[in-house]
Amino acid sequence: MKHMRQILSDFHFHTQCSDDAQGSVREYALCAQQAGLTHLGVANHLEWADDRVTATVVPARDIARHATVAREIQQARAEFPDLVFAQGIEVENAWESKTLITEVLDAVSPDYAIASVHYVNGQNISGDWGIAFLKTQKEEVVYNSYFDEVEKMLDWGVGAILGHLDLAKRYATGVFGPFKHEHYRSRIESIVKTAKRKNVVIEINTSGLFQYPQETYPGPYIFDYLKDAGISAVSFGSDAHCPEHVGRGVSLLMQVAEQAGISAFRLF
Ligand SMILES: [Zn+2]
Ligand SMILES: [Zn+2]
């Protein structure tokens, strides 16, 4: 009997097509092969941040960027026949660019988009530049505003995957202490239910394991919410910004998920 190869997927990582990342698709594929990954979703930022804080969308430039990735993926498919590739795009809650974002997505036509919240009240809280802002805020306001934005992204319906649904804790943990999901139970339940209704898959983003909160985005607490909502699969993403980090933490989290009765989503 032929041995079934276990799925080890990473649907969220950035190549040099993103302003804050390094490495080509080929370099990622080489590292992925070494790490035993089987399914790769190259998901670059749709937007481009010249100053690392404020991102812009310039359709001609951004369509060309993502078209380059599509060509790199085609070449990698020929060179790495054992790996399965897809092209994703990470879209952020940049409301002022909604029309331009749609224009880029229509032109590039990626296999999937990841809907991600990086801004709370107009402030980018995904990087350490957000700490000064967080210090001027109340904990509940930060998380509730973040979840408001997540709901808005789900309403927009832009992504097949919901990225890092509690990313606010990345730096908020340092300001307010550990994230207490119980305080936001009704918010998280509502997000999970909406995601299910809209066929949006929730991502387990493992980058948080290697950052300040030392917990995935969202943490393993989410598995109980998913089970209560009748959801049985999640998407795994390392959010790697360099090839050496591809798949980091995914194998471990897949085991944790499996023990909780949740499996890896099969996107392709
Ligand atoms: Zn993100
Ligand atoms: Zn990302």
Identity (one letter) of the amino acid at 187?
R
Q: How far is the CA of 12 from the centre of ligand 2 (A)?
A: 6
Q: How far is the CA of 4 from the centre of ligand 2 (A)?
A: 30
Q: Does domain 9-264 have CATH number 3.30.365.10?
A: no
Q: How far is the CA of 220 from the centre of ligand 1 (A)?
A: 18
Going by C-alpha positions, the residue among 4, 7, 13 that lies closest to residue 264 is: 7
User: Residue 99 CB: number of other CB atoms within 10 A?
Assistant: 9
Q: How far is the CA of 116 from the centre of ligand 1 (A)?
A: 5
Q: In this predicted structure, what is the pLDDT of residue 3?
A: 47
The C-alpha angle with vertex 51 and arms to 66 and 21, in degrees rounded to 5, equals: 45
> Are 11 and 235 spatial neighbours (Cβ–Cβ below 8 Å)?
yes
Query: What is the total residue count of the chain?
Result: 268
Q: Looking at the DSSP assignment, which residues form a beta bridge with residue 120?
A: 123
Q: How far is the CA of 237 from the centre of ligand 1 (A)?
A: 10
For 155, what's the count of Cα atoms within 13 Å in the CB-facing half-sphere?
10
> Are 178 and 171 spatial neighbours (Cβ–Cβ below 8 Å)?
no
List the structure tokens of 155.
Answer: 């309403």
| Residue given tokens 């999640």 in the structure block | 234
Burial of 56 (0-12, 13-18, 19+ CB in 10 A): middle
List the structure tokens of 120.
Answer: 């709370």
| For residue 58, pLDDT beyond 80 | yes
Q: Domain spans of the chain?
A: 9-264
Identity (one letter) of the amino acid at 217?
Y
> Are 195 and 201 spatial neighbours (Cβ–Cβ below 8 Å)?
yes
The sign one gets for the Cα dihedral 101, 106, 109, 114 is: positive
Percent of the chain clearing pLDDT 70 (strictly above): 97
- Give the strand order in the sheet containing 161-162: 9-13, 39-45, 84-92, 112-116, 161-162, 201-205, 233-237, 263-264
Q: How far is the CA of 124 from the centre of ligand 1 (A)?
A: 11
Q: How far is the CA of 2 from the centre of ligand 1 (A)?
A: 38
Q: How far is the CA of 45 from the centre of ligand 1 (A)?
A: 8
> What is the average per-residue pLDDT within 117-128?
93
Percent of the chain clearing pLDDT 90 (strictly above): 91
Q: How far is the CA of 50 from the centre of ligand 2 (A)?
A: 16
| For residue 55, pLDDT beyond 90 | no
The model's pLDDT over 92-102, given as tens digits with 9 standing for 90+, comes to 999 999 999 99
Q: How far is the CA of 167 from the centre of ligand 1 (A)?
A: 8
Q: How far is the CA of 92 from the centre of ligand 1 (A)?
A: 7
Q: How far is the CA of 117 from the centre of ligand 1 (A)?
A: 7
Q: In this predicted structure, what is the pLDDT of residue 268?
A: 65
The ligand placed nearest to the CA atom of residue 164 is: 1
Q: In this predicted structure, what is the pLDDT of residue 1?
A: 39
| For residue 168, pLDDT beyond 50 | yes
**From CA 146, how far away is CA 101, in angstroms rounded?**
20
> What is the average per-residue pLDDT within 49-53?
74
Per-residue confidence band for 2, with pLDDT thresholds at 50, 70 and 90: very low
Q: How far is the CA of 4 from the centre of ligand 1 (A)?
A: 33
Cis amide prior to 110 (ω within 30 degrees): no
**From CA 130, how far away is CA 120, in angstroms rounded?**
10
Mean pLDDT (the chain, rounded): 95
DSSP state of 261: T
| For residue 227, pLDDT beyond 70 | yes
User: CA 228: distance to chain centroid?
Assistant: 23
For 158, what's the count of Cα atoms within 13 Å in the CB-facing half-sphere?
30
Q: In this predicted structure, what is the pLDDT of residue 52?
A: 64
Q: Near ion ligand 2, which residues have CB within 5 Å?
A: 90, 239
> What is the average per-residue pLDDT within 155-184?
97
pTM of the full predicted structure?
0.96
